[in-house]
């Protein structure tokens, strides 16, 4: 205040000569007046600002409040609303980017992409640690692959958001797969106690990305479900009437197996004897074009191919055609006991989208004592398998992620022999438990859904669940169950299938204690055979005998894997409905 008076007095002294007494009075008067005006101005500005704050008259402030409200509303549907809200509103300039719920989802996905990128470099850093075991090195490599896939899925989801009404199924599939990838990375460090130290270096960041993906998925589901429900009803009506590939009710299961898929002309031929373009399947895949929008057919002539084959995400629209499931065999023996991860143990691993295979056996011969040993791992979206055998023991078929379809296949194994977190339908297949090691129990399925909004699950439709000859010989001493909950929201549905008496009357088995018994979803609908009697089934909250055809219809290929939009293009037989 005193400094202001001094400045004001000096300014008012224009140099006119005034008597001292009068001059001092006038100086005091003008100084007081100036101070009063200045204070009033400051108070006025302060009151004006506070008034605009309280009344919301400031345009920037109004938009900011609206943006906060939109974010809070969108995040209210998520499993981690506090994380959802704080991650977005702390983003610099977020209010300028948010006008709709779709903006909230896009911003959330972009934030998640940055977090996943940080995780990728964190894994690269962990790879430089000294003293890593063979499996830890493999597991870190698995993490790099799954994080890379996650980044691709998140970028594609942002692109599909532009027309979310028509890409709702794709969006849910992409984010569901991204969630699964975070779990897969961490699962690679669950075999030995020593793995836990590396796992600790990954845990928080991986779970952060998983929860961010979970929030995005919940918001997407909330935004699109009502639109999709109306559209799907119309599509179902059209497909039921116009789909010429559906199985008519009067064709028996035996007759269906006699039907042939269309003849296809191969682009290249694989022959172990040198009579083709390549001697190994892996060589043919490596030479295939990347990002192909047209089908690239690799014919694999009769023979036993002892190799591990990987169809990476860049190798799209590839088709394997064998000379018959018993004649063309791709076999390997990677396993966890000998130092692999479950993910890496697969004899054949398929990630490139729209992969097709027919008339081939995929096999892992490691045996029941080697624990997890995968014959076939599938993470390829819109992939289908026809007249294929998948043979191993523990973890035979790893239906890892995305949308898949198996028709007229044989899957055989022991512990958790159909497992993973894809949206998969197995239709008109033979599913046989084998003889395990002494003291082991057989589990047909171990589904891995970790989030209730994921569109994933294992559906067994119009199949035959039984046992191989070696198990039948000791059936009374080995317990076999339809499945157990690998993850918290495990979901498996068995519909209109024949279940033999190899299955225990309880039907299902717990993973550990009460884990997931209230949150899982296990359903059975109109099954037949001595193992299908439900009167002695488990009494878990998550288990149900489905009695409604409408509810069962939601698990058919037409609805569960959006089959009406892509199964026809495979050339394989299929039924969209019940």
Angle 240-262-428 (CA atoms, 0-180°, nearest 5)? 55
- Residue 523 pLDDT greater than 60, yes or no: yes
Q: Count other C-beta atoms under 10 Å from residue 300's C-beta.
A: 28
Whether 192 is catalytic is no
Q: Which backbone phi and psi does 459 adopt, to 5 degrees? A: -115, 125
pLDDT at 262: 60
d(CA 523, CA 518): 13
Band the pLDDT of 194: cuts 50, 70, 90. Answer: low
Q: For 313-372, how does the pLDDT look when each residue is reduced to its tens digit (9 = 90+)? A: 999 999 999 999 999 999 999 999 999 999 999 999 999 999 999 999 999 999 999 999
Q: For 137-175, how does the pLDDT look when each residue is reduced to its tens digit (9 = 90+)? A: 999 999 999 999 999 999 999 999 988 878 899 999 999
Helices (H), 364-407: none
- Residue 28 pLDDT greater than 50, yes or no: no
pLDDT at 69: 94
d(CA 422, CA 457): 6
pLDDT at 29: 40
Whether 395 is catalytic is yes
Band the pLDDT of 550: cuts 50, 70, 90. Answer: very high
What's the mean per-residue pLDDT of the chain? Answer: 87
Beta bridge partners of 349: 310, 377
Helix %, strand %, coil % of the chain (to 5): 40, 20, 40
- Residue 488 pLDDT greater than 80, yes or no: yes
The proportion of the chain whose per-residue pLDDT surpasses 70, expressed as a percent, equals 83
Q: For 416-460, how does the pLDDT look when each residue is reduced to its tens digit (9 = 90+)? A: 999 999 999 999 999 999 999 999 999 999 999 999 999 999 999
- Residue 30 pLDDT greater than 60, yes or no: no
Q: Catalytic pick from 395, 421, 430, 451?
A: 395
Band the pLDDT of 225: cuts 50, 70, 90. Answer: confident
**Which DSSP helix (H) or strand (E) runs through 426?**
strand 423-427
Give CA separation, 174 vs 152, 213, 309, 333, 426, in Å: 9, 10, 24, 31, 21
Angle 229-232-234 (CA atoms, 0-180°, nearest 5)? 115
DSSP conformational letter for 372: -
The proportion of the chain whose per-residue pLDDT surpasses 90, expressed as a percent, equals 78
Q: Catalytic pick from 103, 160, 187, 416?
A: 416
Structure tokens at 519: 């949150």
Q: For 96-131, how does the pLDDT look when each residue is reduced to its tens digit (9 = 90+)? A: 999 999 999 999 999 999 999 999 999 999 999 999
Structure tokens at 86: 């704080």
């Amino acid at each position: 205040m005193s400094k202001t008076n001094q400045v004001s007095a000096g300014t008012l002294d224009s140099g006119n000569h005034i008597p001292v007494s009068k001059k001092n009075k006038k100086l005091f008067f003008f100084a007081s007046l100036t101070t009063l005006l200045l204070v009033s101005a400051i108070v006025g500005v302060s009151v004006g600002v506070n008034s605009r704050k309280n009344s919301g008259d400031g345009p920037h402030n109004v938009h900011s409040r609206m943006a906060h409200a939109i974010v809070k509303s969108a995040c209210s549907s998520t499993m981690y609303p506090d994380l959802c809200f704080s991650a977005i509103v702390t983003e610099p300039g977020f209010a300028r980017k948010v006008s709709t719920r779709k903006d909230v989802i896009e911003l959330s996905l972009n934030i998640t992409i940055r977090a996943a990128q940080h995780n990728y470099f964190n894994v690269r850093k962990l790879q430089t640690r000294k003293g890593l075991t063979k499996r830890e090195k493999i597991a870190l490599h698995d993490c790099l692959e799954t994080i890379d896939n996650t980044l691709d899925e998140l970028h594609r989801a942002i692109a599909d958001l532009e027309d979310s009404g028509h890409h709702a199924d794709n969006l849910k599939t992409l984010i569901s797969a991204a969630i699964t990838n975070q779990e897969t990375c961490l699962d690679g460090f669950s075999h030995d106690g020593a793995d836990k130290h590396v796992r600790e270096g990954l845990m928080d960041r991986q779970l952060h990305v998983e929860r961010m993906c979970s929030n995005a998925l919940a918001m997407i589901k909330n935004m699109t479900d009502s639109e999709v429900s109306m559209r799907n009803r119309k599509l179902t009506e059209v497909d039921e009437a116009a789909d010429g590939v559906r199985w008519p009710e009067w064709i028996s299961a035996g007759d269906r197996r006699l039907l042939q898929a269309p003849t296809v002309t191969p682009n290249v031929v694989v022959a172990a004897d040198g009579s083709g373009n390549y001697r190994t399947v892996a060589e043919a895949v490596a030479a295939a074009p990347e990002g192909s929008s047209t089908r690239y057919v690799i014919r694999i002539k009769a023979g036993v191919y002892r190799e591990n084959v990987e169809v990476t995400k860049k190798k799209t629209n590839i088709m394997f055609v064998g000379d018959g499931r018993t004649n063309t065999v791709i076999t390997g023996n990677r396993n966890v006991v000998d130092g692999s991860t479950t993910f890496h143990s697969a004899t054949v691993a398929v990630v490139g989208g729209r992969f097709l295979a027919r008339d081939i056996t995929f096999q892992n011969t490691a045996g029941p004592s080697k624990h997890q040993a995968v014959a076939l791992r599938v993470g390829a979206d819109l992939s289908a398998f026809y007249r294929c055998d998948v043979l191993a023991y523990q973890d035979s078929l790893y239906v890892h992620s995305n949308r898949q379809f198996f028709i007229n296949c044989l899957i055989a194994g022991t512990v958790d022999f159909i497992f993973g977190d894809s949206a998969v339908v197995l239709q008109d297949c033979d599913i046989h438990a084998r003889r395990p090691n002494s003291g082991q129990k057989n589990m047909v399925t171990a589904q891995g859904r970790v989030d209730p909004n994921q569109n994933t699950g294992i559906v067994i439709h119009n199949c035959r669940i039984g046992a191989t000859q070696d198990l039948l010989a000791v059936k009374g001493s080995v317990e076999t169950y339809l499945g157990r909950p690998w993850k918290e929201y495990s979901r498996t549905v068995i519909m209109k299938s024949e279940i033999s008496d190899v299955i225990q009357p309880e039907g299902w088995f717990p993973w550990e204690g009460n884990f997931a018994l209230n949150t899982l979803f296990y359903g059975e609908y109109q099954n037949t055979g001595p193992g299908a009697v439900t009167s002695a089934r488990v009494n878990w909250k998550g288990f149900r005998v489905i009695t409604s055809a409408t509810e069962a219809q939601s698990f058919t290929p037409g609805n569960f894997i959006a089959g009406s939009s892509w199964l026809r293009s495979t050339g394989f037989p299929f039924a969209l409905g019940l």
